[in-house]
C-alpha cells in the first residue's frame, strides 16, 4: 500500500526547495516528499507520464504544494490543468508562493486552490509552516473518496 502522506512540491527555486527539504527533515523526517522544478514536470508526475509512470517509485501525493511563478508552465497553468482532470479534481492543492498580490490570490482561488500561503521569510516561520501543513493536511483534513480516480 502506498504511503498516503506523500507531498509533491512544485517549485523552480533551488534555494526554496533546499529550505523546504531541510525544514521537513528537521521537523518531520517521516513525511515523504517529491520535488519537481517546473510546471510540466508537475503535470507529468500527477498524470503518471514518462519518467513518473512507475507509481511504486512515484506514488500519488496526498497534497500538492505549488509555486505560482515558474517558467513556461506556471503554477496557475498547473492548477487549471489539475482541476480540469477528472481523476485529479479532488487533489488538495496549496499554493506556496512569494506573491502576496491580491490578483494572484484571487486568481489562484478562482482556479480551484484549496489554500494560498505566502512563503515565510524566516527559518522559524518556515518550520512552523511545515508543522502546520503536516498537522492540517495529513492529520485533520479528511481525504475524499478516490475510487476510480488516480489517487
pLDDT tens track for 28-43: 999 999 999 999 999 9
* Ranges 21-25, 91-95, 142-146, 147-151: which has the least confidence: 147-151
What are the distances in angstroms from CA 75 to CA 26, 97, 104? 27, 9, 11
pTM for the model? 0.91
What's the pLDDT at 1?
42
Instruction: Answer yes or no: are the C-beta atoms of 93 and 113 closer than 8 Å.
Output: yes
State the pLDDT confidence band at 150, using cuts at 50, 70 and 90.
Answer: low
What's the distance, CA 38 to chain centroid? 12
What are the distances in angstroms from CA 34 to CA 13, 106, 112? 14, 27, 22
**Domains defined for the chain, CATH in brackets:** 7-140 (3.40.50.2300)
Residue 71, pLDDT above cutoff 90: no
The mean pLDDT value of the chain amounts to 92
Residue 102, pLDDT above cutoff 90: yes
Amino acid at each position: 500500500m502506498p504511503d498516503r502522506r506523500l507531498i509533491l512540491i512544485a517549485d523552480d527555486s533551488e534555494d526554496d526547495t533546499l529550505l523546504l527539504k531541510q525544514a521537513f527533515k528537521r521537523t518531520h523526517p517521516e513525511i515523504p516528499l517529491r520535488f519537481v522544478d517546473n510546471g510540466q514536470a508537475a503535470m507529468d508526475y500527477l498524470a503518471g507520464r514518462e519518467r513518473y509512470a512507475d507509481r511504486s517509485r512515484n506514488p500519488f501525493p496526498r497534497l500538492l504544494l505549488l509555486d505560482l511563478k515558474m517558467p513556461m508552465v506556471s503554477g496557475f497553468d498547473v492548477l487549471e490543468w489539475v482541476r480540469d482532470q477528472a481523476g485529479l479534481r479532488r487533489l488538495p492543492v496549496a499554493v506556496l508562493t512569494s506573491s502576496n498580490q491580491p490578483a494572484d490570490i484571487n486568481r489562484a482561488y478562482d482556479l480551484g486552490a484549496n489554500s494560498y500561503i505566502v512563503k515565510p521569510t524566516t527559518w522559524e516561520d518556515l518550520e512552523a509552516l511545515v508543522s502546520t501543513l503536516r498537522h492540517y493536511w495529513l492529520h485533520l483534513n479528511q481525504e475524499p473518496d478516490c475510487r476510480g480516480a488516480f489517487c
